[in-house]
Each structure stands twice: as C-alpha cells, then as structure tokens.
Amino acid sequence: MLPKLNLNDPARIGTWLAGDFYTVPALDKRGGTGDVTSVWRAFHDHFAWVACVAGNHDTFGDSPQHRPRIAATVHYLEGDIVNIAGLRVAGIGGIIGNPTRHHRRYEDEYLKTLELLLDDQVDVLLMHEGPNGTQPDQRGNTRIREVLEKYAPSLVVRGHAHWQEPFAEFACGLQVLNVDARIVVLTD
C-alpha cells in the first residue's frame, strides 16, 4: 500500500520550476514575454523551497536581466549550484539562440556553462531548454543530450518543449523529466 501523501505539510514539499510561466493577460494567445515574479512568489508562499530557472518568455521586474530576490528559500539558478534538501541542484535557464533576443545565448556558451555545472557532480539539473528524449516525439536539443550523456547527472528536470510521455531514461543512467505544461509529484 502506498503511503498517504500529505500535500498540506509545506515543510516537506519543494518545487522545481522550469520556466515559461508568463502568459498574456487576455489568455488569448501563446507566447509573449513578461514578469513572472508573482508566480515564483506564490510558489514560495506555499512550499518549503523553490528551485527555478527562467524560460525564454520570463522577466523579473522592469529589466529582463534583473535577478529576482524573492526569499532565501527561492533559488534562482542561472549557472549556479545550491544544496537543497540534501541534493546538489544546478540550473541553467533560457535557450540556445541569438543573444540579442530575450534569454538566449550562443550554443557554444550555453554548452560550456552546462559542462561547468555538470563537472561539479550535481544530483539534479534544472533547465529550461533540454535534451531530446528516447522517443521520436520527445523533442529537444541533441547537442545538450550529448553533453548530459557524458556527465549523466541523476535527474534532469526540463521544460520548454512539451512531451506527451514526460519521462526518458538513457542507457548511461541519465533520467529526464519533462515538466512543460504539467505538474509532477515525486515522493520518497
């Protein structure tokens, strides 16, 4: 029998946010870019900790480069590693692309940052753009997958491109969880 999951005990629940939480006010189209500080703050108000990366549609305050400071338990990861609940969690936001556009960086720079993070033995990697999966409809970036297979962190939590089947496991032991447009509850 499965143990009862108590979602009313926020001291035991943390969240991983993989970006793109902005929506246009009228809710009538996809895309747009805007401030997601209130969304991150709402997660902070209800959970013990929040680890998050920015999506390519997310800003914080008036400046797209502004680094949000919401609370000590909200960990905005942009090339950073933090220890949370006994895990070493790293994060990289945005996507590969022309850096003159919002929250994008050149592929070589992105992959170098990714390798530097993974070289530091992380348990969980949180990212917005992520690898392609093991099934044809699990879209993603092949170059990112190649780097991840080389370092094989325990778990990658990613967003940006929706997968019908949210999980992929590779022969090297790498596990990828796609949380784009979904909530996933993991228990111990």
Q: Tens digit of pLDDT for each residue in 21-74?
A: 998 888 888 778 999 999 999 999 989 999 999 999 999 876 555 677 788 999
The answer to whether residue 188 scores a pLDDT higher than 80 is no
pLDDT of residue 70: 83
- For domain 14-178, the CATH superfamily is Metallo-dependent phosphatases (3.60.21.10)
Residue type, 159: G
For the stretch 158-182, pLDDT in tens is 999 999 999 999 999 999 999 999 9
The answer to whether residue 2 scores a pLDDT higher than 50 is no
Residue the block writes with tokens 């006994």:
86
For the stretch 79-135, pLDDT in tens is 999 999 899 999 999 999 999 998 999 999 999 999 999 999 999 999 999 999 999
pLDDT of residue 5: 58
Using the 8-state DSSP alphabet, how is residue 3 labeled? P
Contact 156, 177 (CB under 8 A): yes
Per-domain boundaries in the chain: 14-178
Token pair in block for residue 64: 């797209």
pLDDT of residue 28: 84
Contact 181, 163 (CB under 8 A): no
Alpha-carbon gap, residue 14 to 50, rounded angstroms = 6
Residue 95, φ and ψ in degrees, nearest 5: -140, 170
